[in-house]
Amino acid sequence: MDGRQILIGTSGYSYDDWVGPFYPEGMHKRDFLGFYASEFPVVELNFSYYTQPTVSTLQRMIEKTPAHFRFAIKAHQSLTHTIPEDVRSEAERYKQGIQPLVEADRLAAVLFQFPYSFHYTPECRKHLQRLCESFADLPKAVEFRNSEWQKDSVYHGLREADAAYVNVDEPRLPKLPEPTEVVSSDLAYLRFHGRNQANWWKGDNVSRYDYLYDGDELSEWLPMIERMLAKARLLLVIFNNHSRGQAIRNARELQGMLFP
């Protein structure tokens, strides 16, 4: 692929209900990451949204994975779900914690996942700009949960900031982003959230993403993935439908379609 690369993985890896469907019975949690990394080349870390990442935690993760393995890591909620007065200091605090990934060349992307309530307003647009400036030296990706941001001007701004627009597959509901194949940097990003319409608004972080894609639904994305990869150096494809190991099943299935 002339140096272009596609990495397929899952959002998170440490789930109790993956024991049986993926992890062997009796496996200790400390061995989950190494086992996961023996099959998949990338993982998206979620804990960093709830807790500020630390050097020691990420250094241990690096030591448990092979040299080619990459990490995408979510930005802390203080950067995406609130608008701090001093964005730069909050960003520096976070960046210090993920320094081991940067130094070891293991960082695939910092993921800024904004909530549905992050609207296309002057204040939010200014916050996004400051965030991108604060992370100018790192690979970064931006996910919006509101279709208000699906504008050419937004895509242009992300290109100017060298930030990846996160394309999503999720329920076809009003005001949620439509499926796209936008590439706004050398990094392209695609997240599969499932299509569980019934639980999207009323479910929790497990039931909302409780969905198993069938082969036809995954096949819909194959031409879009091919076009995205033609425009990017690296494409990350992450499955977030983690309930009962469904993300593992779909990640394997997509890999089989792309690399038969």
43-57 pLDDT, tens per residue? 999 999 999 999 999
Return the bridge partners of 237, or none.
8, 190
Domain segments of the chain: what residues? 5-258
If you average pLDDT over residues 200-222, what whole number do you get? 94
Residue 135 φ then ψ, to 5°: -115, 30
Residue 2 is predicted with a pLDDT of 62
45-104 pLDDT, tens per residue? 999 999 999 999 999 999 999 999 999 999 999 999 988 889 999 999 999 999 999 999
Whether residue 34 is predicted with pLDDT greater than 50 in this model: the reply is yes
User: Which pLDDT band holds residue 124 (cuts at 50, 70, 90)?
Assistant: very high
Q: Percent of the chain having pLDDT more than 90? A: 94
Q: How far apart are CA 69 and CA 37, in angstroms?
A: 7
If you average pLDDT over residues 1-14, what whole number do you get? 89
If you average pLDDT over residues 1-9, what whole number do you get? 84
If you average pLDDT over residues 167-192, what whole number do you get? 97
Residue 1 is predicted with a pLDDT of 46
Residue 84 is predicted with a pLDDT of 81
Q: How far apart are CA 184 and CA 128, in angstroms?
A: 15
- β-pairing, 107-113 vs 140-143, is parallel
Q: What residue type is 64 in one-letter code? A: K
Whether residue 224 is predicted with pLDDT greater than 90 in this model: the reply is yes
Residue 3 is predicted with a pLDDT of 74
Residue 205 is predicted with a pLDDT of 85
First to last CA, the chain: 15
If you average pLDDT over residues 198-218, what whole number do you get? 94
Q: Percent of the chain having pLDDT more than 70? A: 99
| Contact present, 27 and 54 (Cβ < 8 Å) | no
Can you spell out the DSSP letters for 142-204?
A: EE-SSGGG--HHHHHHHHHTT-EEEEEE----TTSPPP-----SSEEEEEE----HHHHTT--
Q: Which of 253, 252, 238 is nearest to 12 (CA)?
A: 238
User: Which pLDDT band holds residue 203 (cuts at 50, 70, 90)?
Assistant: confident
If you average pLDDT over residues 115-122, what whole number do you get? 97
The superfamily (CATH) of domain 5-258 is Protein of unknown function UPF0759 (3.20.20.410)
130-166 pLDDT, tens per residue? 999 999 999 999 999 999 999 999 999 999 999 999 9
Residue 82 is predicted with a pLDDT of 87
Q: In sequence order, which residues have a C-beta less than 8 Å from that of residue 156 and are 6 or more positions away?
A: none
Whether residue 167 is predicted with pLDDT greater than 80 in this model: the reply is yes
